[in-house]
Amino acid sequence: MSLTPAVAAVARVAHLASDALVDSPSPFSPYWKSLPRNSLQQPSLSVTALPRGADPSPALLAHTTASLLSYTAASSPALVRLLPHLPELASRPVVFHLAAQGDLADALVLRAAVPYFIHSSTPQQAHDNALLASRLARTERKAVIHVFHVGEEGDKVDEVAEEKVKPFLFAEKRPRTLSKATGRPLSPIPSRPQSPAPRPYSPSPNRPYSPVPKHANGNGNGHANGHARKGSELDGRHSPRSATPVTPTFTVPIDPATAELLDGYESAALSTLALVRRSQRALVQRGSTEPHTVIFGLGQTALDFADVAGVAYVDVSLLSPLPASRILGALRPSVRHVIVLEQVRKWTTKWTPFFLDVVGVLQHRDAEDRPTVRSAYLGDTRGLQPDDLATFLEAATTSKPSARTQLGAPFVSATATPEVPHVPRHESSYTRILDHLFGDRLEVSNAPALVATQGELATSPEFALGRVRGALEERAELVKAVQELLRDPKLPPETHALLSQWVLAKDDPAKGERLGADVVAALEPGFPHPAAARVLALRAHFKVPSRWIIGSDAWSYDLGASGLHHAIASGLDVNVLILDTLPYTARNTADPARRKHDVGLYAMNHGDVYVASVAVYASYAQVLQALVEADRFAGPSVVLAYLPYASEEDTTALDLLKETKLAVDAGYWPLYRWDPSKEAAGAEPFALDSDAVKHDLQAFLDRQNHLSQLVRAGPLLPAELVSSLGETLRAERKRRAQQAYAELLTGVDAPPLLVLYASDGGAAEKKAKRLAGRAQARGLATTLATLDSITLDALANEEHVLFVTSTAGQGEPPQNGRAFFRMLNAAAAAASGATPLARLKYAVFAMGDSHYWPRPEDAHYYNRPGRELDAKLAALGGTRLADAGLGDDQDADGAETAYKAWEPRVWAALGVAGVAVREAEPEAITNEHIKAASGFLRGTIAEGLADARSGALAPADTQLTKFHGIYQQDDRDVRDAREAQGAEPAYAFMIRVRLPGGVCAPAQWLAMDRIADEHGAGHFKITTRQTFQFHGVIKRHLKPAIQGINRALLDTLAACGDVNRNVLCSAIPTLSTLHAQVYAFAKAVSEHLLPRTTAYHEIWLDKKLVAGEAIKDHEPLYGEFYLPRKYKIAVAVPPTNDVDVFANDVGFIAIVDAHGALAGFNVTAGGGMGVTHGNKKTYPRTGSMLGFVVPEQGAAVAEKIMLVQRDNGNRVDRKNARLKYTIDRMGLDAFKRAVEEQLGFTFAPARAYAFERNIDDFGWQTGADGRHHFTCFIENGRVQDEPGRAFKTALRAIARVHRGEFRLTANQHLVISGVETGEVPYGLDNLDFSGLRLASSACVAFPTCGLAMAESERYLPLLIDKVEKICEEHGLRNDSIVMRMTGCPNGCARPYLAEVAFVGKAPGVYLMLLGGGYHGQRLNKIYRESVSEPEILAILRPMIKRYALERHAGERFGDWVIRAGYIAPTTEGMAWYEGMGGEGPHREILAAA
């Protein structure tokens, strides 16, 4: 519903006045959703939005320290849940703002349980009373209920200025000042007269009732609705009537507690009067001054009773505390009739409490002077005429006192037709799986759609359980009726057979329903037996439904988990799916008494309940298995489903994935299944499905077993028994000599020194180690450590400390310094002038890249960690030894330029600048040293695999395992959490298979599928190198996984590392003969360039060298140093450049003769994608044409180009070591001559060819041999099961029956190839995607890639969701635009050839590149150096619109952006940076400008 001014005004007051706020879904909710998120997350305000149907009491009771707590809700039956807790809340500063629509009965239920109950009848009064209630609750520290009416959209409310609210709330309590003359309270406003004194009253005639208009505006008071009203304001605690000789004075005493409450109210009312300049009174009387009829009104009315002669209307604002004297003061001696007119219709007893209050007050008057009291219902008075009012008064005063009259039509409840609750879209992750598994059998017993027909309670689990019980009882009645029929001897044999078969198969979903339909068909003609009629009446129960009750905080809240308890105890065959939406990162803020994942333990303790804990974003297959098992289980089943989202609007699928991974991997949400029926069969009932938990448990058990074996194999013995006296003496002498030497160094006058560093990539660590070595050479006692290894308390005891830090992400500290920075920030924020580091003398050297953030608004990210570290150390009392050094990658020598100037200043400050030092620094260990010392790629890998103390290998070995096709990684999603737990990173390994040409047999596909399940993360990836890649393989599974790969006649050797990697080959499904030729060529080249070391077979396949080490390895092509960097080869077949041949070190472009046979290849060299952000010495490059060769010469050409690169490549700087830099350094002609000298022949001139595209041809195609091929879209190559895309299961099923082959494409898709005509599997088409999505590609990036700076694979599909909507708006849904994304600049997804590309720089921040060639023939160029999603969409929206309107026929997007002037074309790799930032009016203004 829309937000009315009254609701908005009250919500605004609650927002400004409260320290904490709790909201139940109500008319207030749109207000909270409309506020900016930062306004709700300010430190001074805590907002708790409760789910639909949730009990607010725990959330209210949890706020014990708030100086003012507000609760906003609708006046509804749900308020009754507050009653048990109101006595406790009554003594707390809480305001209950309740929005009423029609009947006030639900709110009035709470009146007796709270000290204050305030009612507002107009929108303006609602605003003013909201202020009064907030002030009252804060000053009196008591609960206040404020009920008001929602009102209309056109209402006017005069709101107080925001800056006045806090002073009003915190002002001292205003005392009541009485006038000396009258004894009445003085007005707090100097210019305002004091409250009017009472007037004498005399009786008036009973008749006639003739309303007379008094004001032109139609309001009897002459003011707008809700503003100052003319009339008597009754505020005395005793009857204010003047005594006359004929009128006795009535004084009703009140107890001290009530008097104290009234004093508090009147003090708050006076403060509110001073703020808003409008009087706030408990009772406001208007109308006749000598009334014979008084109406006490509680509700909202559009009528003006002041226009009725002889009638006074008393608007009741303060309902509690309401002393008798207040009511009595409104009853003049002339009054003969009292009408209690309340907007209360559905009260459970005949008389309402307020009516009884009025009756009770009248008992203080003499019986002969006592007026008659009648109750009346105040309905909707809009549209009533004066005659209607006169008729009501006539009826009310003449009817029996026990009769209840009515003014106005009854209110139509806003919930007369219950609103179907909204189901958050994220929950469809599970409901779609249920629908997919069970189809027509699925019966959600508390489905939201039932609300329309069965009321609001239809979604509650308790109600649903009752429906299930009723359905099961009716089915039991059906079975009973069938059995009764079977006993009838007159039953026809055919019908008897049908009924017997159904009884035997009644619980079988398929057979039971089919046989049931046959039974109905047999009985419908008519059979003379009462049981037959019952069977037909119960025919709906022949079907065997899968009954589910879904527990969701959003729409089916299970109050007190009563539905769950009853379901578990019932023994009924019902399944309960409980959704837990609490994000892992917010787990500590939740109510610990409502931890849903503990329900599993409770249910398992019951003994006869199936229990499972699942998470669809962690293991889709496990969810399927658990739901199927739950459905099959004969009895109650409870499935706990994790779906962590804070809000539907702000939580993306990527957020769900991250939160789920954190929860599952940390063990917070374990994945398991408990099936008691297995125990009866002698099987294990419990299955733990959490890989991370299983791995940690296995590692623990392995360590325990290892320790036990050590204890048994090598018991501890006294040292005297196992060593000689001489050895002991020598060891002691050595120890003393070392100690003396250390003391000698410490004795130098220069002080001891601590060097602390924070580094991600290793550059800052190397700098710090060099700094520490130079300090030691100058005689300083130096200690080296990471920033996170020291606490602030320990730092405060240090005297001299040097800091070296690099810059990560968006100006963030490196990973091993973040904990220290958090401590430092907290200390700086809490310091308040304190100087805990007064003893510290320090200097900071920071390393960054000034060009990394080129925009002026981003310039503060440059060296931000170092600059903030320097400033905060000084703020905490530290003294600078030297000004901070700011190393810049853009300087001539990079960070070394600033370092050379900074270091001498440090030595001078430490007093060691004059110490003569002959610096002979050890040479840095590089990859070249590691390769040379590795023993042909052995290193200590075998020893590292046997070391169970860590999940990682030694750093040097992680460089060597790349040659074996293995990368060491860790789960970056949980890195911080594990560090906080004191655990090492969650190490795991990536394995890449060598698969030349991307072709595999169905049996090999099944083997890869099985390896992913048994040793990996349950899924695998098709990579841009046309091969398989497994993630999440822990160390002890490496060897079994690789052995399984080898058993499938595949291997991983040379899939990575400084060697020739997997050779690519075009998939070309239509050219069967040609594909066979180029595939054979690719495979031959791969085998020819394969390393010859036996280390791979030794380490992984346990094949030992013979004759000890008498036979040594030999690498005829690579030598002991192998290549300077990776070496990549691709074979393309025009017109399809699906392998991006120009992105490879060597490219072979197939040339066919007039008969369609392979004639040879055009050869390119020097392509490569890798770049380093901010380092203009690095750039992408497309391959240069060398010439034409025949197929027989191809392998030799690939070899000789590799040898020239081996001998001439840059082995000093790996960033400039690729073949592309070698060619540009030597010159293309010189390089070509060097290759031809090696070959012994020259290249022939290149032959003509033409590329048309570099994307895959999706869908069905028929080859020249008559066989069929289907190219299947697999987004970003991830083969896994997910809702709507069960790729892994489907492809496994296909592989089991397929007799052809699978071809993996370099665009990360799959060709199911060689399908015979009679074997075409229909229904496989999954190509209902936009052209943009089909042409997209992304690398893995987070969470496994250690180089990733931003999301890629997990984010690009979400970005495409938004960009393709723009395309569809302009008619471009089916137009192909090549869009690629990588998480770092290394270019795994070949982004520099895409028409639109995004390259990660920091979380959520990317380079944006435009202008790549659609055929993969032209590099793109940097258009913007730093964009986030809003900027991406803002750039692409008008650009795509223009493209749709202005493009030429057949013009591709990458060509158009160049023609339209957005970006200049890139002519060669070395010119890549020229013209970056856009052209003309589209040029980005950079910081350098």
Nearest Cα residue to 899 out of 781, 779, 774, 786: 774
889, 1309, 1392, 1395, 1451 from 1335: Cα distances, Å: 35, 11, 14, 10, 16
Q: How far apart are CA 1197 and CA 1244, in angstroms?
A: 13
CA dihedral 620, 622, 623, 628 (to 10 degrees): 130
| 3-state class (DSSP) for residue 753 | strand
Instruction: Please answer whether residues 1163 and 1183 qualify as being in contact, where contact means their C-beta atoms are separated by less than 8 angstroms.
Output: no
For residue 1248, give the DSSP letter: P
Which residues are CB-neighbours of 1481 under 8 A, at least 6 positions away?
1461
Q: How far apart are CA 1134 and CA 412, in angstroms?
A: 73
Rounded to the nearest 5°, which phi and psi values hold at 650?
A: -100, -10
Instruction: Please answer whether residues 328 and 285 qualify as being in contact, where contact means their C-beta atoms are separated by less than 8 angstroms.
Output: no
Looking at this protein, which amino acid is placed at residue 1139?
A: V
Which residues are CB-neighbours of 259 under 8 A, at least 6 positions away?
237
CA atoms within 13 A on the CB side of 486: 15
Work out whether strand 610-615 and strand 672-674 pair parallel, antiparallel, or are unpaired: antiparallel
Work out whether strand 1028-1033 and strand 1020-1022 pair parallel, antiparallel, or are unpaired: antiparallel
- Give the largest Cα separation in the chain, rounded: 138
Helix-then-strand count for the chain, H and E:
47, 49
Instruction: Please answer whether residues 1264 and 1071 qualify as being in contact, where contact means their C-beta atoms are separated by less than 8 angstroms.
Output: yes
**Which residues are known catalytic residues?**
992, 1061, 1126, 1128, 1339, 1345, 1384, 1388
Which residues are CB-neighbours of 485 under 8 A, at least 6 positions away?
491, 495, 499, 527, 529, 531, 532, 535
327, 351, 353, 566, 1422 from 404: Cα distances, Å: 21, 10, 15, 43, 80
Nearest Cα residue to 305 out of 401, 362, 228, 229: 229
Cα angle 958-1100-978, degrees, rounded to a multiple of 5: 40
Which residues are CB-neighbours of 1191 under 8 A, at least 6 positions away?
1077, 1081, 1158, 1160, 1161
Nearest Cα residue to 1134 out of 1074, 1203, 1193: 1074
For tokens 């310039």, the residue is 859
For tokens 């099944």, the residue is 1006
Write 1112-1121 long-range contacts (CB < 8 A, 24+).
1113/935, 1113/936, 1115/936, 1115/1091, 1116/1092, 1117/1089, 1117/1091, 1117/1092, 1117/1199, 1117/1202, 1117/1203, 1117/1206, 1118/1059, 1118/1091, 1118/1206, 1119/1206, 1120/931, 1120/932, 1120/936, 1121/928, 1121/931, 1121/932, 1121/1211
Burial, 736: exposed, middle or buried (Cβ in 10 Å; 0-12, 13-18, 19+)?
exposed
Work out whether strand 1268-1272 and strand 1310-1315 pair parallel, antiparallel, or are unpaired: antiparallel
Q: How far apart are CA 129 and CA 715, in angstroms?
A: 81
Nearest Cα residue to 1159 out of 1244, 1084, 1237: 1244
Could you tell me the sign of the dihedral formed by the alpha carbons of 1215, 1218, 1223, 1226, in that order?
Answer: positive
